[in-house]
Amino acid sequence: MRVLMLVAILFAVGLFLYRRRSVAEKSPPAQLTAEQIKQQWRKLGFFCELDDQNRVWTLTGSRAGLLQFRDLLLAYVADPQHAMQSAYQHYGPYGSLEVMTWPSAGFDSQSIRGTLKDLARLAGLVETKLAAAKPESAVLIRQEFAPDNAYTLRLDVRDDYFDPASADRDRLGAATKRPDPNSK
């Protein structure tokens, strides 16, 4: 019985390392235009990027946009297909944001992961932290989600008129803001 358990653990670790090694920089599918990419960021509600050098996942958006990350996590948890270990789903126009079902909570260069209970707890942390966040501030989540984690989740809170597509400087150009509808 112990040998079988050891083999299963080694297989799971091997699978995780294989997937982690095979993940390359995500680029937009060739068929997506710049306008389609912008629309996908806007639909997601926030821009996301990974900084491996500083070990930070940064989600940039208005408070309402960042709350869509909370909603994304809750929808992930509610989907029965994600109950199985190693289940995952990619988000955003490049598929760079990955949420994964895993036995231990954490953030790494591949994904935001944890048990379904952990991911629901992360959704609650995001909601609680954003309730007190002011525009142009940053919220950091690490210790309260996964104390032994090397990566941090940074929520970069912008004003209500922030366009998440504008944060995609590398592929779409300089950052801009949506016009204030009250200024017309």
Domains present along the chain, CATH in parentheses:
35-183 (3.30.1360)
The pLDDT value given to residue 117: 98
Spans in the chain with pLDDT lower than 50: 10, 13, 15, 17-28, 174-179, 181, 183-184
The pLDDT value given to residue 30: 59
Outline where the chain has alpha helix (H).
2-22, 34-44, 63-78, 116-132, 169-172
List the structure tokens of 75.
Answer: 């929808």
Single pTM value for the model? 0.78
Q: Could you tell me if 136 and 158 are in contact, meaning their C-beta atoms sit under 8 angstroms apart?
A: yes
The pLDDT value given to residue 132: 93
Q: Give the C-alpha separation, 20 to 55, whole Å.
A: 15
Q: Could you tell me if 41 and 47 are in contact, meaning their C-beta atoms sit under 8 angstroms apart?
A: yes
The residue type at 101: T
Taking the CB of residue 9, how many other CB atoms lie within 10 A of it?
10
Q: Which residue has the tokens 């789903």?
A: 89
List the structure tokens of 90.
Answer: 């990619």
The pLDDT value given to residue 20: 45
List the structure tokens of 113.
Answer: 């992961």
Q: Give the C-alpha separation, 46 to 65, whole Å.
A: 5
Query: Nearest 5°: CA angle at 36, between 25 and 176?
Result: 85
The pLDDT value given to residue 177: 47
